[in-house]
Amino acid sequence: MQVDLKSSKGEVIKKISASDDIWKQPFNDVLVHQVVVAQLSNKRQGTSNTLRRKDASYSTAKLRNQKGGGRARVGSRSSHVLGNSVAHGPHPRSYKKKILKKVKNASIKMALSEKMREGTVTVIDKLNVKDISTKKLNKIISDLELPKKSHMLLEKSEINENILKSSSNISNVKTVQADLINTYDLLNSNHLLITQEGFKKIEEIWGSKKVKKWKQKHWVT
């Protein structure tokens, strides 16, 4: 397939070829949902903790007589009924979920293909940000006539520091290295703005014949 390559001013320069294996994958919502749920689960710290009855540091002596007082029965001071402990409360645990590598790779291709079908992918030749300037980066986004929603800027493996710092002041822009993309971030963004070098890196890494070779070289799990 062919994709428009634009300048930072929004003018179409030429057409570039794009791999059907990456940008024309059918969308499997069950598979993608499985990966997104796993990603969000793996982000959870699992450090919530509550005081159990056995952990409460109080005397175990009975507070009053069992009968004859006309009041409800009550045990020790550490009872959760008195608010000094929690029954069945949360405790530290791991929320980690495992996903097969081939499933992760497939979901990334599906997410990229879905964005391409929606017409929310813009490829530009380069970002001319020679110094740290949020104003200049905002102007580029404005010239490209991108919607005023969340954008995901995909750059090459080593992101220019000027671009990174300029985009950090824009609330609806997230800058990511092309080799560190994930399914959740792709689907959560309204538009993908990709530099030509970033586009080539995606083709290099996620192409069907090169995924395994690249991952072995970089020890990616």
Question: Do the Cβ atoms of 53 and 80 come closer than 8 Å?
Answer: yes
CA–CA separation, 32 and 28 (whole Å): 6
CA–CA separation, 67 and 122 (whole Å): 77
Which residues is 152 bridged to in the sheet? 174, 192
Work out the average pLDDT over 44-57. Answer: 83
Residue 218 is predicted with a pLDDT of 46
Residue 215 is predicted with a pLDDT of 47
Q: Which domains does the chain have, with CATH numbers?
A: 2-42+97-218 (3.40.1370.10), 45-94 (no CATH)
Residue-averaged pLDDT of the chain: 83
More confident position, 206 or 38: 38
HEC string of 25-85 equals: CCCCHHHHHHHHHHHHHHHCCCCCCCCCCCCCCCCCCCCCCCCCCCCCCCCCCCCHHHCCC
Residue 220 is predicted with a pLDDT of 46
Q: Which of 54, 99, 95 is nearest to 78 (CA)?
A: 54
Q: Which of 57-66, 120-129, 202-211 is modeled with the greatest confidence?
A: 120-129
CA–CA separation, 46 and 57 (whole Å): 24
Supply the pTM of this predicted model.
Answer: 0.76
Residue 129 is predicted with a pLDDT of 77
Residue 72 is predicted with a pLDDT of 83
Work out the average pLDDT over 173-197. Answer: 89
Q: What's the pLDDT tens digit per position in 53-87?
A: 777 777 778 878 888 888 888 877 777 777 778 88
More confident position, 75 or 48: 48
pLDDT at 216 over 80: no
Residue 9 is predicted with a pLDDT of 83
Q: What's the pLDDT tens digit per position in 88-105?
A: 888 888 889 998 999 999
Q: Which of 131, 111, 97 is nearest to 189 (CA)?
A: 111
Q: What is the dihedral of CA 213, 215, 216, 217, to 10 degrees?
A: 90
Residue 208 is predicted with a pLDDT of 62
Q: Is 215 helix (H, G, I), strand (E, B) or coil?
A: helix
Q: What's the pLDDT tens digit per position in 130-182?
A: 788 888 888 888 888 887 777 777 776 667 788 888 888 888 888 888 888 89
For the chain, the C-alpha Rg in angstroms (whole number) is 26
More confident position, 111 or 60: 111
